[in-house]
Amino acid sequence: MPQRDAISYTTIISGYVTNFNASEALLLFSNMMRVDETVRFDPFVLALAFKACGCDYELKYGKMVHGYSVKSGFVNNVFVGSSLLDMYTKCGCVEMGCKVFDEMPERNVVTWTAIITGLVRGGCYKESLLYFSEMWGSDDVQCDSYTFASALKACADSCDLKSGKAIHTQAMKAGFDTSSFVANTLANMYARCGELDYGVRLFERMKIHDVVSWTMIISSYVQIGREELAVQTFVRMRESGVCPNEFTFASIISACANLVRVYWGEQLHSHVIHVGLEYSLSVANAIMTMYSKCGRVRSSSMVFNGMVRRDIVSWTTIIAGYSQDGHCEEAFDYYSRMRGEGQKPNEFTLSSLLSVSGNMAILEQGKQLHAHILLIGLENDLMIHSALINMYCKCGSVQEASRIFNAVENDSVVSWTAMINGYAEHGHCKEAIDLFEKTSRVGMRPDDVTFIGVLGACSHAGLIDLGFHYFNLMSRKYHINPGKEHYGCMIDLLSRAGRLSEAEQMIHEMPYKKDDVVWSSLLTACRARGDIERGRRAAEHLLELNPNCAVTYITLCNIYSAKGEWKDAADMRKRMRSKGVVKEPGWSWIKVKDQVCAFVAGDRSHPQGEDIYSMLEFLASRSEMAATSWKSLCIGS
């Protein structure tokens, strides 16, 4: 175009924003500011710029445009103000968004809905409902279907059924309950607040089941852990002739991930490619999560590397996938790539990396992450706080973990549980029990994982009576049904104390399928106590679960040998050989120059294997020479 005016620029920028190409929209806006001085800005193009900043999380750029809006006076325009507060809340600056809202001279329904939606997005559900209540009581503005939907989402996310019912009543009075948008959110709210049957009835009563309503009910099932029903509903949707959209696929693929059904996930992946939705961010992220949860991290990596566009969720998903699979080096490689491409990590990314640092006991790497967390100011985030405690405990730095725990006053049961478990794992049983006792004094409610920590502490300390006290306290005071892990702790407690008969009885009486963990605890205790008959029974149960478990054969063989039952020991070794059972070697690893090297005994696969063994031989010879010299010196004296 030989000449461009504000309308020309606004039209193209709007097109970019509508098609989620925020970077191009901001590039054109910058060009409009710097190059074309003949074009005058108006509120609409500024509102679009703020929307693009929110979509691309460009907070720094958004602040610059905010400054221009203040200088030009456009900040008082209702369209600009609404877009500005929406941008701040999308970028995580909820307080700044509220400040913009409070300073606006004029507000309309879009403004109110924007602040309510922003607060919901930021997890400030109570505050969002307070703003909704203030809006409802105002005579200047009326709620629309989007306002009701945002308020109902706050109730759904916070499981606030009472407020949800009140807003449902208000929606009915205003005539918005039949709106497809509100009706779908209502069904979701009831389902997530535990009123699943009523939510489904609302869904069934809808006159038209469009893709939004089907997606809403499918995602509701996934969010409350009813993935089988989500799959059945998806099949009904396809039979009804409604075509799924990207959000439907993201939800149903998440259901397959939670069910660990990789075959179903692969079929959906193929269908996604067939309909051309493989480049959708939400779908691609869901596919990556599905492959990672199903143990197919390489497939997840292929999806990631084929993505045209990536967001923080994409990076966090691939890093978490490798972290959970124990691939420390690959997780940090992706983290380096992420930083190199200018993407800033969030609390989920850093928590995954701290987790793998702890699991691999790489303290130096964990300290570097801690330093970066302090630099960006995320050390007080609850998720990061508990991940730091967990990492330091797993790396053996219990004192540092304790310092971090005590440095911040928090009411997060996750952080308290991480510290209790850390004390218990390192034998600081008194500290673990004292901290657990403190939870009730500060008004905190321990969860099932907290009890695993304190029961483990009792087991290590041999405190049988106290262990049973806590075990019974779970159901009596906190109404927590003991799980398989809690029974495992109690069986371990009894086994360590030598009360093998009671431990075996508890295994038979526990209301769960007996796994190898409880029988292994009993077998190990039988070896320590020399109980051949009970050890044989435990071993037989273990071999029923896993006929090729070398550790079981070897432990039982050692029990026989210790008691002089040489024939039984020989028979066990013969049985082991006939089945072709071989004990897998234990792995060790060492970090050298930012690279983790894993190895087994006698391993020569390392590229520098010959050099390593030459150095070992040299050190061994030096040790022999030193020993010989010391021996000669002792004889001479």
> Quick one: average pLDDT of 505-529?
84
In this model, does residue 601 exceed pLDDT 70? no
Most confidently predicted of 157-171, 577-591, 622-636: 157-171
Work out the percent of the chain whose per-residue pLDDT is above 90.
Answer: 30
Q: Which residue has the higher pLDDT, 584 or 614?
A: 614
**Residue 389 has what pLDDT?**
93
79-83, 223-227, 571-575: the lowest-pLDDT one: 571-575
pLDDT tens column, 225-251: 889 999 999 999 999 998 999 999 999
Mean pLDDT computed over 291-308: 92
In sequence order, what are the beta bridge partners of 588?
599
pLDDT of residue 438: 92
Task: Work out the pLDDT band at 294, boundaries 50, 70, 90.
Answer: very high
Query: Any residues with CB less than 8 A from the CB of 55 and at least 6 apart, and which?
Result: 17, 20, 22, 90
Which residues face 599 on adjacent strands? 588
pLDDT in the model for residue 451: 93
pLDDT above 70 covers a percentage of the chain that reads: 91
Count helices and strands (H / E) in the chain.
35, 2
Give the pair of three-digit tokens for residue 57: 């999380």
Pairwise pLDDT comparison (542 vs 292), residue with the higher score: 292
The 3-class secondary structure across 472-520, one letter per residue, is: HHHHHHCCCCCCHHHHHHHHHHHHHCCCHHHHHHHHHHCCCCCCHHHHH
Q: Which residue, 546, 544, 496, 560, is CA-closest to 522?
A: 496
pLDDT at 55: 81
The pLDDT value given to residue 630: 55
Mean pLDDT on 345-370: 88
Per-residue pLDDT at 4: 62
Looking at every residue in the chain, the average pLDDT score rounds to 85
pLDDT score for 609: 72
Which of 395-404, 445-454, 506-515 comes out lowest in average pLDDT? 506-515
The pTM is what? 0.68
Report the C-alpha gap between 634 and 179 in whole angstroms.
Answer: 96
The dihedrals phi and psi of 496, each to the nearest 5 degrees, come to -60, -35
Q: Please, what sign has the CA dihedral across residues 235, 236, 240, 246?
A: negative
What's the maximum distance between 2 C-alpha atoms anywhere in the chain? 106
| pLDDT (0 to 100) of residue 316 | 92
Q: What is the pLDDT averaged over residues 271-287?
A: 91
The DSSP line for 282-307 is HHHHHHHHHHHHTT-HHHHHHHHHT-
Could you please report the per-residue DSSP string of 112-170?
HHHHHHHHHHTT-HHHHHHHHHHHHT-SS----HHHHHHHHHHHHHTT-HHHHHHHHHH
User: Is residue 178's pLDDT more than 80?
Assistant: no
CA dist 193 and 448 (Å) reads: 21
Indicate if the pLDDT at residue 596 is higher than 80.
Answer: no
Of residues 622 and 217, more confidence is placed in 217
- Tell me the sheet residues that pair with 590: 597
Q: What is the pLDDT of residue 571?
A: 80
**For range 125-148, the mean pLDDT:** 89
As a whole number of Å, the CA-based R_g of the chain is: 31
pLDDT in tens, 316-351: 999 999 988 888 888 889 999 998 888 888 889 999
Band (401; pLDDT cuts 50, 70, 90): very high
Q: Of 366, 374, 448, 376, nearest to 401 (Cα)?
A: 366
Mean pLDDT of 53-59: 81
Instruction: Say which residues have a Cβ less than 8 Å from residue 135's Cβ, sequence separation at least 6.
Output: 112, 116, 141, 143, 147
CB atoms within 10 A of CB 586: 7
